[in-house]
Structure 1
Amino acid sequence: MPISPSWARFAGRLAVDVVECVDVAREPERLRSGLWFVVVDFEADLGGGTTGRPGRARAWRFASVHQEAPDDATEGAWTGPASDAWTSSMDRAGYEAAVEHVREHVLEGDVYQANVCRVLSAPLPAADDGAEPNAAALARVLGASNPAPYAAAIHVPAGGDVEPVWVVSASPELYLSLSGGVLATGPIKGTARTPDGLGAKDRAENVMITDLVRNDLQHVCLPGTVEVTDLLAVEHHPGLVHLVSRVRGLLRAPDAPDLWAQVLAGTFPPGSVSGAPKSSALRIIRALEPVARGPYCGAVGWVDGDAGTAELNVGIRTFWWDDGVLRFGTGAGITWGSDPAAEWRETELKAARLVGLASAAR
């Protein structure tokens, strides 16, 4: 089964031939029926806080959806930018200065933790015939060399009747899952090359964010049903390890027409990539970060309105392309215990493997 010009892939599902795109913020009720593939920018204003920059929350419906898409469904090869073509929205000095600013805010009592990110970008023009870079081929490269539990990809080329999108995500982090009326999340905080590299700062940071997402779920779940089912679990991923916790609760109004408006307003943006308290962290992010994050740190996944199920990742380890530029975000959670040089190195660690994979001709 060849990949059509428009397609989406997540959790063994391959959807082809796009039909329509809806604005989730304006028409959340559309997600109550049918299968939709969703991309939400970090800046999207969904009622739970915004960074003050314009962002979109969109969902695409496709004509055909197949289970367990074959590995050979991808045609063509991936050719990425040169490895030395990438530039950063913040250089090392600028990023370390931002870390110090967050530490000052912690000292003043404004915030306990804030996630500071930078966006890497490299020129990657469309082909002479207008063909956009082969997102399916990049997804195949990442899947082979950096498998991720919440990997996703969606490509709707520009020039058609439906709003375009180009996103390839190798995310290891669950933002939200929904099944049987149970809403669950799996925040990641704490990253190192090996388990021995995870320290007290990582554990404290994870506990803070776990408490924050527990509070987020309480906005939309029945009182007394929100529980932490796993705390500070060590998960192994290619080239690094993470501390992961799990939180879940029973939805208060699972049949509400505006269910996804309620859920997103109560929980977005994800706490692990914003900070605590979330409103204060978002104000700090707006002041410190020079460019928008876009799909990075947003959400990518699917919602099946007919089955009442969903799975959305936190859009980390994510590439997106538009206007002839390929982008990739990387960041770190900053607390009073942060060392600026160490936080810069963490952003390099998170980016090195995937940017390396995307930079070579395959």
Structure 2
Amino acid sequence: MASDVVECVDLTAHPERLAEPGPWFVVVDFEAYGRGGRARAWRFARVSAAVPASRPVAWSGPHPRSWRSSLDRPAYEAAVETVRAHVREGTVYQVNVCRVLEAPLAGTDGGEPDARALAARLATGNPAPYAAAVHVPAASGVDPVWVVSASPELYLSLDAGALGSGPIKGTAPTADGLTAKDRAENVMITDLVRNDLQQVCEPGTVTVTDLLGVEEHPGLVHLVSRVHGRLAADVAATPDRWARVLAATFPPGSVSGAPKSTALRLIDDLETAPRGPYCGAVGWVDGDRAELAVGIRTFWWDDGVLRFGTGAGITWGSDAAAEWRETELKAARLVGLASGPADDARP
């Protein structure tokens, strides 16, 4: 965990600041870079390992029946059919269509909800490989943020010049439920990620090291592929290397679609609420090392409202009712953990 916030940097204006000593804790909205969202990084005076395991979990979330969706089932299924029509016309191959759940949630004693308590609750009930919590209170005098993520998906990792990504496409309650549509969708998005990385990596170094791996997570399974490359020397040597990497790869392919530019236009047309940190990037950058998750399975709080996003990848092979059920599957466990009193948590 980090404490004593020092500053916040607008990465759209000053991406070169990420080359300065860190670590920097990063939150990038899905709509960043020309679409109205924010890309920010915070630096703190002190960084320690984590919230102690003995720390009491004091989270109390919104009532389970207080959640509302930006798209109800008929509207979501209509959006699926719109995407399928575009696929039939050949303008797009895949689009990730999402909806945002929200519920009123007051802070403690007139302040803000305890992000560490929700993070601890999720760590117990839904452990995730790229879990993160970034909270800078409004009272700090620095640009605030409140994000808690249980992301299972790697957007980008950087370690001494090795750049990697782990796109997820394909979700089911068990491995037996994964379909040919899931596998085709994963291959399509893996190829998109490979092309993205090739824009900033040395020629010939980008490879798919694992294709269609099955990963088990609490309550569901995912198809996950792994793509790696060697960051190009001219990119690695420049202070604005993250500006170039993000320009080539953001937003993540798994939560946008293919081709990405067309998919983003459809997303803007079909979705009725901004995604914010959901489907953006959450993580850290420290010199030549970084780990940024795709901001899925992510909660964010602002102005008395707790939000959570859920979505599904739509192709010609999609069934609208099945895609709606996939969004419910992805949300059910996390929203359940975030709702109600702390003693309802289950490992």
- What TM-score bracket applies, with the shorter chain setting the length? over 0.9
- Tell me, yes or no, if structure 1 residue 204 matches structure 2 residue 207: no
Q: TM-score, normalised by structure 1?
A: 0.92
What CA deviation, in whole Å up to 9, does each residue of 1:212-265 have, x standing for no partner?
Answer: 000000110011000000000000000000000000110012121101000000
Aligned mates of 2:337, 2:239 — CA distance in 1: 42
What CA deviation, in whole Å up to 9, does each residue of 1:169-222 have, x standing for no partner?
Answer: 000000000001011000000000000000100000000000000000011001
Q: Look up the SS of the partner of 1:159 in the other structure.
A: helix
Aligned mates of 1:236, 1:44 — CA distance in 2: 31
- Tell me, yes or no, if structure 1 residue 221 matches structure 2 residue 201: yes
Choose the corresponding residue for 2:45, options 58, 63, 67.
63
**Structure 2 contact 57–121 (Cα < 8 Å) conserved:** no
Choose the corresponding residue for 1:154, options 122, 128, 134.
134
Q: Look up the SS of the partner of 1:67 in the other structure.
A: coil
- Tell me, yes or no, if structure 1 residue 23 matches structure 2 residue 10: yes
Equivalent residue, structure 1, for 2:213: 233
**Structure 1 contact 190–202 (Cα < 8 Å) conserved:** yes
Equivalent residue, structure 2, for 1:36: 24
Aligned mates of 1:322, 1:287 — CA distance in 2: 24
Equivalent residue, structure 1, for 2:345: none
Equivalent residue, structure 2, for 1:181: 161
- Tell me, yes or no, if structure 1 residue 132 matches structure 2 residue 112: yes
Aligned mates of 1:148, 1:240 — CA distance in 2: 12
Q: Look up the SS of the partner of 2:135 in the other structure.
A: strand
Superposed displacement of residue 17, structure 1: 1.1
- For 2:3, give the aligned amino acid: V
What CA deviation, in whole Å up to 9, does each residue of 1:294-342 have, x standing for no partner?
Answer: 000000000002xx10000000000000010000000000000000000
Aligned mates of 2:278, 2:229 — CA distance in 1: 26
**Sequence identity (%):** 73
Aligned mates of 2:50, 2:39 — CA distance in 1: 27
What CA deviation, in whole Å up to 9, does each residue of 1:28-47 have, x standing for no partner?
Answer: 111112210000000001xx
Aligned mates of 1:71, 1:165 — CA distance in 2: 24
Equivalent residue, structure 2, for 1:91: 72
**Structure 1 contact 76–134 (Cα < 8 Å) conserved:** no
Spell out structure 1 runs of 4+ moving beyond 6 A: none
Aligned mates of 1:137, 1:313 — CA distance in 2: 21
Q: Look up the SS of the partner of 2:186 in the other structure.
A: helix
Superposed displacement of residue 159, structure 1: 2.7
Aligned positions of 1:302-321 closer than 5 A: 302-305=284-287, 308-321=288-301
Equivalent residue, structure 2, for 1:122: 103
What CA deviation, in whole Å up to 9, does each residue of 1:123-166 have, x standing for no partner?
Answer: 00223x42201110000000001000000001111133200000
Superposed displacement of residue 75, structure 1: 5.4
Superposed displacement of residue 68, structure 1: 5.1
Choose the corresponding residue for 1:270, options 252, 258, 279.
252
What CA deviation, in whole Å up to 9, does each residue of 1:24-74 have, x standing for no partner?
Answer: 1111111112210000000001xxxx5x3x1000000000012355323x4
Aligned mates of 2:195, 2:337 — CA distance in 1: 37
- For 2:67, give the aligned amino acid: W
Q: Look up the SS of the partner of 2:91 in the other structure.
A: coil
Aligned residues: 339
Aligned mates of 1:282, 1:208 — CA distance in 2: 16
Instruction: Give RMSD over aligned pairs.
Output: 1.0
- Tell me, yes or no, if structure 1 residue 296 matches structure 2 residue 278: yes
* Structure (1 or 2) with the greater helix fraction: 2
**Structure 1 contact 78–361 (Cα < 8 Å) conserved:** yes
Equivalent residue, structure 2, for 1:281: 263
- Tell me, yes or no, if structure 1 residue 193 matches structure 2 residue 180: no
5+ residue gaps, structure 2, are 343-347
Q: Look up the SS of the partner of 2:80 in the other structure.
A: helix
- For 1:257, give the aligned amino acid: P
Q: Which moved more, 1:339-348 or 1:152-161?
A: 152-161
- For 1:89, give the aligned amino acid: S
